Structure 1
Amino acid sequence: MLLSLLPPLLLLQWSLTSGEIDPYLLKATSQAVPVVTEDSVTSLNKPAKILINPQENHIFIQTDKPIYKPGQTLKFHIVSLDFNLLPHNQVFQTVELQDPYSNRIGQWLNQTTRIGILDLSHSMSPEATQGYYTITAKDEKNQQISQRFEIKEYVLPKFEVKIDFPTVLTVKDEEVILKVCGIYTYDKPVLGSVNTEVCVQSNYYKPVFPNKLDVCKKYSMMADKTGCGSQVINVSTFGLSSGGSFQVNCNMTESGTGITMQGSTSAVIIYDYVRVHFEDTPDTYRPGMDFEGKIVVTNSQSRPMENEPVIVYALYGGKKVNVTLTTDISGTVDFSFSTSDWSEETVKLWANHKGGKKRPDSEAYTYYASGYHDVRPFHSEDNSFLLLTYAPENPSCHNEITVMVRYTIDASALKLGQTTLQFSYMVLSRSVMAQIGLLSVNVNSRNGAVITGDLKFTLNDQHLLVPFAHVVVYTILPSGEAVAGNILIPNQACLSQVSLEFSSSTVEPKEMVYFILKANPGSLCSVRAIDQSVMLLRPEAELDAATPMVLSGLEFGYGSEEEKPTQEIRKSFPETWIWDLIPVGKSGSVKVAKMVPDTVTKWAIRAFCTSQAGFKVAPKTDLTAFKPFFVSLTLPYAVIYEEMFTFKATVFNYLPKCIMVKVTLVNSLQFTTQPCKSCTYTQCVCSEESQTFQWIVTPSELGKVNITVRAEAVQSQGLCGNKVVSLPDKGRVDTVTQSVLVQMPSKI
């Protein structure tokens, strides 16, 4: 009897005194309680033992970025939500910051959240030890949460390497194309060279070349105007064997600077076979109700196969029935079987793909792919069942969700002359009752007959049913048996009821922009923007505000003035641009103005909000800061005092025509310079191209030393090759100042 489904319903009356259940339970416990239910047809009065779980809060810590340099400021939020994902204001007795050796280097006492969010920061020492640090927060109930971050001496990458290579190869393959591309963070192609090593690790049990298990080959290529280099690889020369794998390691070197970034990928080696597997297929069946499921057919490249024949078998009680079907454009096929003679025993399902092709016997088992799935009967003493479905299949937050209930009731389980049967339903989300109701159907009880039918109802307040709704429907038969069915309905779309839109998707550095943040009235929103380069440095650690969903069981125009000889210097290059807590008033919308930093890059924007409507997440947003003519400095993290190093600056031209560029390293008392041999500091730079300039620099001061470079498009009567030199109307000058850390030799 499914008493565990019943207590939340209105039909049930809990005979509890105030002292029977402690509302402040600190750990899970079980208690016996009397349960009483009664209507005009059935009655039930018996004790039930229930498991009572304490209501736990959900706490998570979000740092503004996953990695820091010594001397940078750590910024972090501690977010506290109750079991219903509503903001939970509480006091954190202690918040501690520990270094890699577990020494406490920071502490906050008795800190209170604001609408569920606590905002803290800590300036790290310039001499901070490199390694992983830990933030630990403990609340008044001694509930504890920790978050790690890394401190490291690093230089942000300016581009990433993307590899296009099959993830699966077959022993029948002869050639594949390897494509390697370099992309700057502002979405422009990288010009340079690519060196690749491709290795095959053979199957130890069946090597094609017994005396050489690993075969490696190296390839070199130049990136074209799109930033990509391609290579046809004759994989048949590697001696492929099933069970082996390909490992591809690529180094892309930027022209001029010599900066190298790495990328890698891998591929498994298999026989030429088709994969068949069951998907969205239940593990149980209701005797007397049709059993429905889905099969997906993919090829060796994991791509769906259309118009492929699939034979689905059901094996039970010494019988074997089958149906032949054809896959659709998505490689899927829906099937159903009558369960009328399945005799309440475990049924084995077997899906077989033949493909209409003949294969040698030695390969038949690898090609004639099969999928297997066992289903067991759902037991009912009165042979009565409920089956729940819902529509639409992928609901949005604004669509109505309709729950359909198919019922099969054995008429002999009803009272003689009974004409109606009541069904009760409840909708739960995050362990909280959100909706209940009653549905009545007409029945004509006849001994030996089976009563079947369908009923449906609509879910209310869908925005509260996140990240999923648990729907339970039941009826109590005169025998006392509760016939029940349940279904989980995903509803994560309603978590994204926050929008953040910028006035433009692409802007210039130093430009004022605004964004409009929309959320539930009274929300407190965390908005964060960090340089995409940080994501490249730690791609596995991208901070996504959607991550906490698992807690519940569950991411302007340009000026037109004439350019003046001087221009404001670009010198603000923060890794975190925005880290704000923004309140949203009664209107549900707020407009925020910001000045874009000086970095030419893409800014990754993420936001989440807390309010009495719950925890909401904004879709990911990006803002690109870009200018068509700029200079970029290439500096190491640190250099040695009074020791020469080669300093490079690269000028990029994304204007439509060639320009003549004069580049100047501004003199400073902090260092001495000398030009490199055969270097020319006035050169042509044509459209979609770059030129790198270099100097020999000797630092004469310790600490941070500023280096300033000025690039100017100048008038020229000469030609760039056979192309006329153009002088842009605006954006002719770009001046950049960046710093490099100068240390004594023992520090490097």
Structure 2
Amino acid sequence: MTLEIILPKFDVKVNLPSYVVTTDKDMQGSITAKYTYGKSVIGTVVVRADVNYIGAPWKYVGDEVMVETKLDINGDAKFTIPFDQLLNEVDPNTYMPLVETLAGYMLTVTVSVTESLNNITRNATEQVKFYKEPFKVSFDRETSPTFFKPGLPYIGHISLTQADSRPVISNVTDVLVKSYVKFYDSQHGKYRAQRLPDDHYAPPPTGVLEFTVNPPENAYSLHLQVEYKRLKDTYDMNKPSWLIERGNIQLYQSNSSMIGERVNFKLLSADPMDKIFFTVINNNRLVQSGILNCSGSRSEHIIFEVTDEMKPYSKLIVYYFITSGWNADSIYFVATTSADVFRNKVAMSFDRNTAEPAENVTLQISTDPRSMVNILAVDQSVMLMATGNDVTQKNVITSLRPNDHLSSNANEMHDPQQIMKT
């Protein structure tokens, strides 16, 4: 009789920080080695760390690593990778300090755990990316308007994250937003600049910070600057050429627009308002309209119930007429629902569960009246090879979405002349 001895298996895992900064003096990491039945592995571990940097000064033959060290392990072990060779070296090609050229490169850590029981070795490898700075801060130019309306609040967004795009967790209000405006001094016949009050914010838990600036009515251009931990970004814009000099209005959505519930839009005006007209347009169809008597106020709320006819996206248009002129503004909103996006229901089924090649099958489709059905047939083998081009309900809805960012197609969304052509 022959006995087969199966040696116990174990797994090795390397734990590294989510990123490292080129000016860090070292990096801390840990190793976990456990048998498949949960017991800790006792033995030794060799840790090797290297950077995929061509012409690294510590490479003479070509296979040398930056750091190699040996540790004992009992289920877990901690290690430190010193960056002395990075901090003290100069790139021989650019003559720049090596740390100034490492951003974007990967630090590869490979560990080899050898158990003392059976002298079996298992390897594991992980990588971590070098960044020049531990944080990233910039104005979000996708969601921040590319223009402003003098006398009305400018609402923009700042992206502030750690180097690996995780949010910064802090309650300290050390995000500084500075704003400047340029205006024409008619008394002296020249343009001048003015610094508006600074604003301080705490890093947002979502990674996106919303801020508000109030440019005065005589502002010609707006300069924004955000500062955080020695990092800076700027954003410049002018008042649009289509802007009407007086009576500008601006729309904001105050809450979610769920079907069957009431949505609230805030309307601000640079001048007192008298009577305001509003309409809701969906796919070039008028689905709702109304009138507001404002009695000279500069702030009003437009509230109405979101209906099924407004999905998936609708456009709210607000306008007024007075003896001396008129003005308008618009905004897109999403009519959301917890149920199906489409009112008409569609069901489909085959007449059999399996079929041989070249056999005919019948597809039965049931729909509500006045429904349009499109059929796409794809071989399952194609789906197994690649994904990402599938036709899903989400993709269909996204394709219907208009350019609702304030920075996208600003003329169509906010130019009064273009709005009234809707």
How far residue 349 of structure 1 moved from its aligned partner, in angstroms, is 0.1
Aligned to 1:348: 223
Classify the secondary structure of the residue corresponding to 1:346. strand
1:422 partnered with 2:274: no
Aligned to 2:300: 454
Separation in structure 2 between the aligned mates of residue 342 and residue 540 of structure 1, nearest angstrom: 60
Alignment of 1:391-410 (within 5 A): 391-392=254-255, 395=256, 400=261, 402-408=263-269
How far residue 198 of structure 1 moved from its aligned partner, in angstroms, is 2.8
How far residue 388 of structure 1 moved from its aligned partner, in angstroms, is 2.5
Matched-pair contact (CA < 8 Å) for 1:175–1:234: yes
Separation in structure 1 between the aligned mates of residue 340 and residue 389 of structure 2, nearest angstrom: 13
Separation in structure 1 between the aligned mates of residue 58 and residue 86 of structure 2, nearest angstrom: 7
CA RMSD of aligned residues (A): 5.4
How far residue 436 of structure 1 moved from its aligned partner, in angstroms, is 2.8
1:320 partnered with 2:195: yes
Cα-to-partner distance string for 1:268-306 (whole Å, 9 max, x where unaligned)? 1425x6543334533322221122334455455655133
Separation in structure 2 between the aligned mates of residue 288 and residue 190 of structure 1, nearest angstrom: 69
> Which of 324, 329, 332 is equivalent to 1:484?
329
Classify the secondary structure of the residue corresponding to 2:83. helix
Classify the secondary structure of the residue corresponding to 2:138. strand
Separation in structure 2 between the aligned mates of residue 290 and residue 456 of structure 1, nearest angstrom: 18
Matched-pair contact (CA < 8 Å) for 2:260–2:307: no
Classify the secondary structure of the residue corresponding to 1:477. strand
CA shift in 2, pair 1:422/1:464, >3 Å: closer
Q: Which amino acid aligns with 1:246?
A: M
Cα-to-partner distance string for 1:636-655 (whole Å, 9 max, x where unaligned)? xxxxxxxxxxxxxxxxxxxx
Alignment of 1:458-537 (within 5 A): 458-461=304-307, 465-466=311-312, 469-475=313-319, 477=321, 483-489=328-334, 491=336, 494=338, 523=347
> Which of 274, 285, 289 is equivalent to 1:437?
289
CA shift in 2, pair 1:277/1:490, >3 Å: farther
How far residue 246 of structure 1 moved from its aligned partner, in angstroms, is 2.9
Separation in structure 2 between the aligned mates of residue 332 and residue 195 of structure 1, nearest angstrom: 42
Q: Which amino acid aligns with 1:440?
A: L
Cα-to-partner distance string for 1:100-134 (whole Å, 9 max, x where unaligned)? xxxxxxxxxxxxxxxxxxxxxxxxxxxxxxxxxxx
Cα-to-partner distance string for 1:306-332 (whole Å, 9 max, x where unaligned)? 304233221222222241414157377
Separation in structure 2 between the aligned mates of residue 340 and residue 381 of structure 1, nearest angstrom: 15
> Which of 78, 82, 89 is equivalent to 1:235?
82
How far residue 389 of structure 1 moved from its aligned partner, in angstroms, is 2.3
Matched-pair contact (CA < 8 Å) for 1:397–1:463: no
Separation in structure 2 between the aligned mates of residue 400 and residue 299 of structure 1, nearest angstrom: 38
CA shift in 2, pair 1:462/1:546, >3 Å: farther
Q: Which amino acid aligns with 1:337?
A: V
Aligned to 2:410: none
Aligned to 1:265: 127
Classify the secondary structure of the residue corresponding to 2:302. strand
> Which of 212, 215, 222 is equivalent to 1:339?
215
Separation in structure 1 between the aligned mates of residue 309 and residue 17 of structure 2, nearest angstrom: 41
> Which of 141, 144, 150 is equivalent to 1:287?
150
Separation in structure 2 between the aligned mates of residue 342 and residue 164 of structure 1, nearest angstrom: 57
Aligned to 2:379: none
Alignment of 1:23-38 (within 5 A): none
How far residue 248 of structure 1 moved from its aligned partner, in angstroms, is 2.3
Count of residues in Structure 1 that have an aligned counterpart in Structure 2:
322
Matched-pair contact (CA < 8 Å) for 2:14–2:111: no
Aligned to 1:512: none
Separation in structure 2 between the aligned mates of residue 320 and residue 246 of structure 1, nearest angstrom: 43
Classify the secondary structure of the residue corresponding to 1:283. coil
Separation in structure 2 between the aligned mates of residue 443 and residue 346 of structure 1, nearest angstrom: 31
Aligned to 2:106: 246
Separation in structure 2 between the aligned mates of residue 199 and residue 323 of structure 1, nearest angstrom: 45
Aligned to 1:744: none
Cα-to-partner distance string for 1:509-546 (whole Å, 9 max, x where unaligned)? xxxxxxxxxxx9765599xxxxxxxxxxx999677989
Q: Which amino acid aligns with 2:253?
A: Y
Separation in structure 1 between the aligned mates of residue 340 and residue 329 of structure 2, nearest angstrom: 32
Q: Which amino acid aligns with 1:424?
A: T
Alignment of 1:293-312 (within 5 A): 293-295=156-158, 297-298=160-161, 302-304=166-168, 305-312=170-177
Per the normalisation by structure 1, the TM-score is 0.35
Separation in structure 1 between the aligned mates of residue 113 and residue 59 of structure 2, nearest angstrom: 36
Q: Which amino acid aligns with 1:177?
A: Q
Separation in structure 1 between the aligned mates of residue 160 and residue 154 of structure 2, nearest angstrom: 20
Q: Which amino acid aligns with 1:306?
A: N
Matched-pair contact (CA < 8 Å) for 2:46–2:68: yes
CA shift in 2, pair 1:324/1:222, >3 Å: same
Classify the secondary structure of the residue corresponding to 2:277. strand
Q: Which amino acid aligns with 1:465?
A: K
CA shift in 2, pair 1:549/1:278, >3 Å: same
Matched-pair contact (CA < 8 Å) for 2:222–2:238: yes
More strand by share: 1
Aligned to 1:170: 21
Alignment of 1:187-206 (within 5 A): 197-201=48-52
Which structure is larger by alpha-carbon Rg, 1 or 2? Answer: 1
CA shift in 2, pair 1:483/1:397, >3 Å: closer
Classify the secondary structure of the residue corresponding to 2:100. coil
Separation in structure 2 between the aligned mates of residue 236 and residue 539 of structure 1, nearest angstrom: 44
Matched-pair contact (CA < 8 Å) for 1:203–1:242: no
CA shift in 2, pair 1:460/1:342, >3 Å: same
Classify the secondary structure of the residue corresponding to 2:306. coil
Q: Which amino acid aligns with 1:289?
A: L
Alignment of 1:646-725 (within 5 A): none
Separation in structure 1 between the aligned mates of residue 202 and residue 286 of structure 2, nearest angstrom: 39
CA shift in 2, pair 1:292/1:471, >3 Å: same
Q: Which amino acid aligns with 1:309?
A: D
Flag the structure with more relative contact order, 1 or 2, with Cα contacts below 8 A and sequence separation at least 6.
2
CA shift in 2, pair 1:522/1:496, >3 Å: closer
Separation in structure 2 between the aligned mates of residue 282 and residue 552 of structure 1, nearest angstrom: 24
How far residue 477 of structure 1 moved from its aligned partner, in angstroms, is 3.2
Separation in structure 1 between the aligned mates of residue 385 and residue 235 of structure 2, nearest angstrom: 34
CA shift in 2, pair 1:456/1:211, >3 Å: farther
Matched-pair contact (CA < 8 Å) for 1:402–1:457: yes
CA shift in 2, pair 1:348/1:183, >3 Å: farther
Matched-pair contact (CA < 8 Å) for 1:383–1:410: yes
Give the unaligned 5+ runs of structure 1. 1-158, 354-366, 445-450, 498-519, 527-537, 555-748
Aligned to 2:236: 374
Separation in structure 1 between the aligned mates of residue 67 and residue 230 of structure 2, nearest angstrom: 34
CA shift in 2, pair 1:488/1:203, >3 Å: farther
How far residue 409 of structure 1 moved from its aligned partner, in angstroms, is 6.3
1:549 partnered with 2:409: no
How far residue 386 of structure 1 moved from its aligned partner, in angstroms, is 3.2
Q: Which amino acid aligns with 1:247?
A: L
Identity %: 11
Q: Which amino acid aligns with 1:307?
A: V
